[in-house]
Amino acid sequence: MLTPPPLALYVHLPWCVRKCPYCDFNSHEARGGTPPFAAYVDALLADLDQDLPLVWGRPVHSVFFGGGTPSLFPAAEIDRFLQGAAARLRFAPALEITLEANPGTTEHGRFEDYRAAGVNRISFGIQSFDDGCLQRLGRIHDSGEAERAVKLAQDAGFDNLNLDLMYALPGQDLAMAETDVARAVTLAPAHISHYQLTLEPNTVFAARPPERLPDDDLAWDMQERCQDLLAGAGYGQYEVSAYARPGRQCAHNLNYWRFGDYLGIGAGAHGKITLGHDQSILRRWKQRHPTLWLSAAGQPAAIGGDEHIPPERRPFEYMLNALRLLEGFRTADFQARTGLTDAAIAQPLQTAFQRGWLEAVDGYIRPTALGMRFGNDVISLFLESSDNGPGDDAD
């Protein structure tokens, strides 16, 4: 039987100063003047009002402002939105509220204002501390600005910071990747995200690949070496690309990876909601373009689409998330969050165990080191299983 899991709130703020050539997110350059911040917050609250019937009475355990570049928004507008959301939703105690920030769009004194508004976690898009790499990535900040922004946030009282780093960058060698991690560790953030640059479809880099990209072997060497450096500095890996000090894992992203629920509001935002009354799982997404979404916010026209996830696809969608975690999953959680019995995943689990990709430890089924390396192959087993039929629904 489907049991509603924890609920999160994702808020998409779509504007940025300049779109990076590797970025495939729904982000839009703020051309022709200042974006309509106040009108956008009004629309966010209208969007939230429209989705509220999906989650009546359920507490929200985390809020995440993603983008785009959310730090473009004035703190007063972030505050106004959070006050409006708190009046509509039940915020759980110790709520994690994350704001993504670009070091090139932060101003002195603003971090104190974000903190006063209720934001208690900042995620910085650093990407690299090498100025040459930053230029080749199209970033608008340099390494000095990155370090200053982190220290300003710490001076403002933020002790829960994430730094995003990328590796396998154009022109990067192993020593440069190691230096990026070392400089990040020196700043003592609570959390570091470390992930490989990929050339996503419909990006500038996909159309015109950059020169001097590291090959697969060098990229793997970078990943392994940086994992060792992070572990040695006290950052435990808990997901494919996420590392944290003890107790500082990102609650919002953990909810995604554990197949939790989330409301998605704002232009292009996606949500997933478990509807206990009819034992279904709804995915909803909003119109992508900010202008179109703004003109329709709070009305059915703002919804880009609704889809109920059929039982036969739930094993794949669950594993696509859960097998990113080093802890893996418990079969009881799989049952509760998909409404299926173990029979729906018995065959692919057997295959994965036989190939040494998964192991059972202390009640969890988790990826082995080999399984983490071949994660896509592991997950594809459950897609193949889904193609063969839905398995057995639970009572």
CATH assignment at residue 348: 1.10.10.10
Q: Are 247 and 351 contained in the same domain?
A: no
Among residues 236, 254, 272, the one where a domain terminates is: 254
C-alpha closest to that of 42 among 364, 365, 297: 297
- Report the distance separating Cα 193 and Cα 360, nearest Å: 27
338 and 191 within one domain: no
Q: Is the pLDDT of residue 387 over 60?
A: no
Last residue in a domain, options 225, 254, 283: 254
The answer, yes or no, to whether residue 134 has pLDDT greater than 60, is yes
Task: Count up the domains in the chain and report the number.
Answer: 2
Among 19-28, 360-369, 380-389, whose mean pLDDT is lowest? 380-389
Asked if the model's pLDDT at residue 17 lies above 80, the reply is yes
Residues 124 and 250 in one domain: yes
Q: Are residues 238 and 320 in the same domain?
A: no
Over residues 29-42, the pLDDT tens digits come to: 887 778 999 999 99
| Whether the predicted pLDDT of 348 surpasses 90 | yes
State yes or no: pLDDT of 395 exceeds 70.
Answer: no
246, 319: one domain: no
**Is 317 in the same domain as 240?**
no
Q: What does the pLDDT look like over 270-329, one tens digit per residue?
A: 999 999 888 999 999 999 999 999 999 999 999 999 999 999 999 999 999 999 999 999
Backbone angles phi, psi at 288, to 5 degrees: -75, -45
The two structure tokens encoding residue 162: 């994430």
Q: Provide mean pLDDT across the span 144-167.
A: 96
When the pLDDT of each residue in the chain is averaged and rounded to a whole number, the result is 93
Residue 394 has pLDDT above 50, yes or no: no
Query: Residue 31's pLDDT is what?
Result: 78
Residue 392 predicted with pLDDT over 60: no
Residue 69 domain-assigned (yes or no): yes
Q: Show Cβ contacts of residue 225 under 8 Å, excluding neighbours closer than 6 positions.
A: 174, 177, 178
Residue 394 included in any domain = no
Rounded CA gap, 329 and 332, in Å?
9
Report if residue 295 sits inside a domain.
no
What pLDDT score was predicted for residue 44?
Answer: 98
- List pLDDT tens digits, range 202-216: 888 888 999 999 999
The verdict on 177 and 65 lying in the same domain is yes
Residue 108 has pLDDT above 70, yes or no: no
Bridge partner residues of 282 (DSSP)? 273, 308
- Answer yes or no: is 288 within a domain: no
3-state secondary structure of 189: coil
If asked whether residues 246 and 325 sit together in one domain, one would say no
Boundaries of domain holding 362: 312-387
Look up the CATH number of the domain holding residue 23.
3.20.20.70
Q: Quick check: is 108 in a domain?
A: yes
**Whether residues 210 and 349 fall in one domain:** no
Flag whether 107 is in a domain.
Answer: yes
Q: Are residues 146 and 249 in the same domain?
A: yes
Q: Which two tokens stand for residue 74?
A: 């004035």
* 341 belongs to a structural domain: yes
Long-range contacts of 341-344 (CB under 8 A, 24+ apart): 341/391, 341/392, 341/393, 341/394, 343/391, 343/392, 344/311, 344/314, 344/315, 344/385, 344/390, 344/391, 344/392
43-47, 202-206, 246-250: lowest mean pLDDT where? 202-206
Q: Would the pTM count as exceeding 0.85?
A: yes
Decide: residue 157, CB within 10 A, 0-12 exposed, 13-18 middle, 19+ buried: exposed
Q: Do 232 and 353 belong to one domain?
A: no
Prior bond to 68 cis, omega within 30?
yes
**Domain stops at, among 223, 238, 254:** 254
The predicted structure's pLDDT at residue 122? 98
Is 279 part of any domain? no
Share of the chain above pLDDT 90, in %: 85
Both 209 and 332 in one domain: the answer is: no
**Mean pLDDT calculated for residue range 219-244:** 97
Average pLDDT over residues 190-201: 95
Residue-wise DSSP of 106-138: --TTHHHHHHHHT--EEEEEEE-S-HHHHHHTT
